Amino acid sequence: MDNKTKMMKWLKEPIFSEKIDPFIKFVLVFSGAMAGALVYPQTDMPFWQFLLWMIPLVIVLVFIIKVLGTVWRNNRKQHDMK
């Protein structure tokens, strides 16, 4: 395969694919850890209380991201089938 063929294959591949998902999850986990590390020192609550506050928020955000990704994939598949 020459470079042009590789580039065309790469450009046609969807952004959220089975190959790319682990990298996106890593970026989201890293971003969440950094956000938690930056937000926690500014709060005056104990760490356990901060965790109890963050866990439901993270669960809801992950659920929303998964639903959006699933809807996007299904729309993309329907669009590709046409």
Question: What is the reported pTM?
Answer: 0.54
Query: How many Å separate Cα 40 from the centre of its chain?
Result: 22
- pLDDT, residue 12, reads 73
Q: What type of residue is 36? A: G
Per-residue pLDDT 10s for the chain (82 aa) are 577 787 777 777 666 666 667 777 788 888 888 888 888 888 888 888 888 888 898 899 888 988 888 888 888 777 777 6
pLDDT value at residue 62: 83
Residue where the block lists tokens 């609550």 = 45
Give the model's pLDDT for residue 1: 58
Q: What is the CA radius of gyration of the chain?
A: 18
